Amino acid sequence: MSNIDKWKNNPTEIQYWDDIATHVLFLDENGSSSLKPIINCISNNKTITEDNKYFCLTGLLVQKDELQLINDKVTNIKKQFWKDGNFRYYDSKTHRLTSKRVCFHMGDINYQNGPFSKNRISKSCLITNISDLLNDIDIKIISSFCDKENLYK
């Protein structure tokens, strides 16, 4: 199992924070940064799909002093929807009931997968809670968006 796969199953926590650091930047990407699909489509005179056309990198800049408060608020939202903020499911590989910490992954929320399925939670209620949280906390959102088709041409 790669380090990325390990992280997806168990996101890491900040273990050490140097006194000189005043902020932390959390980054996430949407789409693939690869130009190969763009080049292949152009070379073969095929339509470039929306999934391949764009790449976005977004960061949340958080002050060190605010991090614990934000973490507590996120944990409270998770506890409103899942016991102890954990998603319990049947693991078909181990044939056992398993528990996993809920991670707010927008793709899963939008498509109502796993812990966000229709029969488990109200998507609109969760989105409202997350939106209220983002309005209440002191963060900076930094985002960069790339149209890879225009970049290549």
% pLDDT > 70, the chain: 91
State yes or no: pLDDT of 129 exceeds 90. Answer: yes
- Choose the weakest-confidence range: 4-8, 51-55, 124-128: 4-8
pLDDT band at 18 (very low <50, low <70, confident <90, very high): confident
User: Model pTM?
Assistant: 0.73
What mean pLDDT value characterizes the chain? 88
Tell me how far CA of residue 31 lies from CA of 35, 71, 110, 141, in angstroms. Answer: 11, 27, 15, 18
At 82 the pLDDT is 93
Q: How many CB atoms lie within 10 A of CB 108?
A: 15
- Give dist(CA 125, CA 136) in Å, integer: 17
Strands lying side by side in the sheet with 23-30: 23-30, 54-63, 139-147
Tell me how far CA of residue 111 lies from CA of 8, 27, 46, 108, 115, in angstroms. Answer: 18, 22, 28, 5, 11
- Give dist(CA 50, CA 17) in Å, integer: 39
% pLDDT > 90, the chain: 53
Q: What is the mean pLDDT of residues 130-150?
A: 93
Query: Between vectors from CA 15 to CA 12 and to CA 19, what angle results, nearest 5°?
Result: 135
Read off the pLDDT of residues 36-64 as tens digits, 9 standing for 90 and up: 999 999 999 999 988 889 999 999 999 99
At 3 the pLDDT is 57
Residue type, 139: I
